[in-house]
Structure 1
Amino acid sequence: MPAFSLEPDQVAWCAELRALAAQRLRPLAEKGEPGHVNRPLVTELGRLGLTDRLFTSGALDLCLMRESLAYACTEAETALALQGLGAHPVHAHGTPAQRDRWLPGVRDGSVVAAFALSEPGAGSDAAALALRADPDGGAGNATAARADGPRRWRLTGEKCWISNAPEADFYTVFARTTPDAGARGVTAFLVPADRPGLTGTGLDMLSPHPIGALHFDAVPVTADDVLGETDRGFRVAMGTLNLFRPSVGAFAVGMAQAALDASLAHTAGREAFGGKLKDLQTVAHQVAEMAVRTEAARLMVYAAATAHDDGADGVPQRAAMAKLLATETAQYVVDAAVQLHGARALHRGHLLEHLYREVRAPRVYEGASEVQRGIIAKELYATVEARP
């Protein structure tokens, strides 16, 4: 399928999702408490089959879901995305026992997942994470000194800016199992929230999402909790991010489109200077620029997602480009929409006031814009160096 063209059934599905978001999900979102997991909203996502679709669809479908939901209800979009981000490592790298234990609940919306990578000293530089997984030499760990490595560990340290923390039911946690090994010494663990020594606190952030810090005080984990292979957890993290980065761009495109449509309606109806705002050339040109940038970002997101689904070369670069362009574009479009609306857009509860708070975070999480530029440059120079 060409990256620039959606099939009629996909277009119809997106329209259906926007209607569901407005009619069934937004009322639940409005009843939620900012900064906390909205479990009725997550349950409804499961009832509608959207959380199940996280694991049965490709990157493009994920982008279409996130864009469509973001257009009408950013809280629903975020709740869906966080379920996917936290549970995808289990789906892709978990053992049959891990998948059977946790994924049915994620699919039906009864279990909340979280992706715990960032730390106070290791945000964008994920390879610098310091959460320790120390071999547990206590009773029952007869294999601690065997050649194939320990079978039990104790997690000690902190995670920060973790979405759905501290209210998730389980966490995909990335910890250092080999000191001073950079990205090669990290292991991914599935850690249930009720493990002894695991506590958390909520953080009061600009956007209304549930975000918190996690504190690990010798939290016990075993080989049965490992996702993938010991010391290969960075691959788990990057594989997850390569899938979800284009869809972060889709989230941004959905917000940009909502801001653009609001601006079209406002400028077409607003009387000013003896006519409609849209009759002012500066206003018309501003709206045109917003539309061009939004469509360009959308096409790059679709192209990156299609490349991922097709197993094409250069997926990390394409994903980084899509996230970079789309999130920076959404920031521009939402800001321009606020300017076109004037003071009314600054009222608490106005759509654009909401979007203005929401649009800032995607330029930071899952790799800040500067990190995306670094990935792009690295991939470009690697191509040059590979030439004969």
Structure 2
Amino acid sequence: MADQSFLDWPFLTPAHKDHALGLDQWAGGLGPIDHHDTDNACRSLVAKMGADGWLKPSAVDPADPKPLDVRTLCLTRETLARHDGLADFAFAMQGLGTGAISLFGSPAQQGEWLPQTRSGQAISAFALTEPQSGSDVANSTMTARDDGDAWVLDGEKTWISNGGIADVYTLFARTGGEGARGLSAFIVPADTPGFEIAERLDTIAPHPLATLRFDGARLPKSALIGEVGQGFKIAMSVLDVFRTTVAAAALGFARRALDEATTRVMSRKVQGKPLADLQMVQAHIAEMALRVDAAALLVYRAAWTKDSGAPRVSREAAMAKLFATDEAQKVIDSAVQLHGGDGVKSGETVERLYREIRALRIYEGASDVQKVIIARQTLDAAVAG
């Protein structure tokens, strides 16, 4: 069983602990998840999570609007990731996909979409990346043209998670001007005329991904989230919340890898003695445990800071994501090493973790981008101080 002593850390409340323990028990009863048919698996997971109430923390409740609780989001993603990466993905996209609506949506927008996504009746997606602009969001080229009573969308988005199965997309497009100030955010229902799935994308850890194409797609003026020109601010605010949860998912993967490795070295024998008796193996376990705990401290420091009222946690979230994802990669690599040949056998838990962790060091800001953010924040603080 994964270490749960962190649930008593001062970053978390008894309610957080109860949530994590309850979800852990629920996730343990999910049974095998089909990673070969990810579309149907994600639809099923979203529906089940919604029916059982586990999607409620993913978005604001329009009937009782309170800020998103980042610690609950992190605990949910860590717990689900420890059980199965696709379960984590299904939850995460319900939150990320509607994050802009939760944070900046009008009461009408929140009332229309959030009850559906929180109950699992609708699947959401976050459409930001373009073929020529990944981390360089300010240089997005997709356009949204003001055409009197409508916005007209033209362009492409790519590497969009839940692309092809989502019912609603939060999309960012250029409404005028250059750079960050020219972007705006929109709600795009999947059945919008002029919108099509151009390509489905396959990755080493399969989940629904697609390239989206827009050719004269018309949206009502009410589809605009916030104000014209606020798109970059909205996107960064959403990432400011959900970037920490990516770190939490990586932490969940790392905890599972440590559990699997510990079980392996205690049960596997060499010359009649458990692998765990070897000092070199103990060194691996010690380093893995250290990386897990250090990552957890950064994750829940960032989440607690945001929940305590900080308007932005760019530095804390960047540190958490950079460290947790990079260190989880090392923890999982050590787990594969300790499993020997079985570690690279298709279908083994550590082999699956090895494939799943890699993408987390890229999406929602690659590791090198997080270093830039941390450096800028540190230097700016030095100048201000």
TM-score normalised over the length of structure 1: 0.91
What are the within-5 Å matches in structure 2 for residues 357-372 of structure 1?
357-372=355-370
Q: Percent identity?
A: 43
Structure 2 counterpart of 1:251: 249
Secondary structure at the counterpart of residue 364 of structure 1: coil
Structure 2 CA distance, aligned partners of 1:176 and 1:37?
Answer: 34
Q: Does 1:19 align with 2:16?
A: no
Q: Does 1:34 align with 2:32?
A: no
Q: Does 1:112 align with 2:123?
A: yes
Structure 2 counterpart of 1:88: 99
User: Where do 5+ consecutive residues of structure 2 fail to align?
Assistant: 1-6, 61-67
Paired letter, 1:362 = L
Task: Return closer, same or farther for 1:32/1:166 CA change in 2, 3 Å cut-off.
Answer: same
Structure 1 CA distance, aligned partners of 2:102 and 2:94?
Answer: 12
Q: Does 1:101 align with 2:112?
A: yes
Do the aligned partners of 2:59 and 2:98 also contact (CA within 8 Å) in 1?
A: no
Task: Return closer, same or farther for 1:3/1:270 CA change in 2, 3 Å cut-off.
Answer: closer
Secondary structure at the counterpart of residue 55 of structure 2: helix
What are the within-5 Å matches in structure 2 for residues 121-270 of structure 1?
121-136=132-147, 141=148, 152-179=150-177, 181-200=178-197, 201-270=199-268
Paired letter, 2:371 = R
Structure 2 CA distance, aligned partners of 1:237 and 1:30?
Answer: 32
Do the aligned partners of 1:199 and 1:215 also contact (CA within 8 Å) in 2?
A: yes
Q: Does 1:54 align with 2:58?
A: yes
Structure 2 counterpart of 1:288: 286
Do the aligned partners of 1:37 and 1:167 also contact (CA within 8 Å) in 2?
A: no
What are the within-5 Å matches in structure 2 for residues 291-330 of structure 1?
291-312=289-310, 315-330=313-328
Structure 2 CA distance, aligned partners of 1:178 and 1:65?
Answer: 38
User: Where do 5+ consecutive residues of structure 1 fail to align?
Assistant: 142-150
Secondary structure at the counterpart of residue 209 of structure 1: coil
Q: For each residue in 1:307-350, what CA deviation from the matched residue of structure 2 results, as whole angstroms up to 9, or x when unmatched?
A: 01112376110010001000001111011100110111222211
Do the aligned partners of 1:42 and 1:80 also contact (CA within 8 Å) in 2?
A: yes
Structure 2 CA distance, aligned partners of 1:107 and 1:249?
Answer: 22
Structure 2 CA distance, aligned partners of 1:212 and 1:314?
Answer: 30
Residue 4 of structure 1: CA displacement? Answer: 5.1
Structure 1 CA distance, aligned partners of 2:364 and 2:189?
Answer: 23
Deviation larger for 164-173 or 200-209: 200-209
Q: For each residue in 1:203-240, what CA deviation from the matched residue of structure 2 results, as whole angstroms up to 9, or x when unmatched?
A: 11111111111001111123210011101111111111
Q: For each residue in 1:163-186, what CA deviation from the matched residue of structure 2 results, as whole angstroms up to 9, or x when unmatched?
A: 00022101000001113x211110
Q: Does 1:43 align with 2:24?
A: no
Structure 1 CA distance, aligned partners of 2:137 and 2:40?
Answer: 25
RMSD over equivalenced CA pairs, Å: 1.8
Structure 2 CA distance, aligned partners of 1:296 and 1:105?
Answer: 37
Q: For each residue in 1:221-273, what CA deviation from the matched residue of structure 2 results, as whole angstroms up to 9, or x when unmatched?
A: 23210011101111111111000011100000000000001100100111014
Deviation larger for 214-223 or 322-331: 214-223
Q: Does 1:332 align with 2:327?
A: no
Structure 1 counterpart of 2:63: none
Aligned counterpart for 2:88 among listed residues 73, 77, 93: 77
Number of residue pairs aligned between Structure 1 and Structure 2? 371
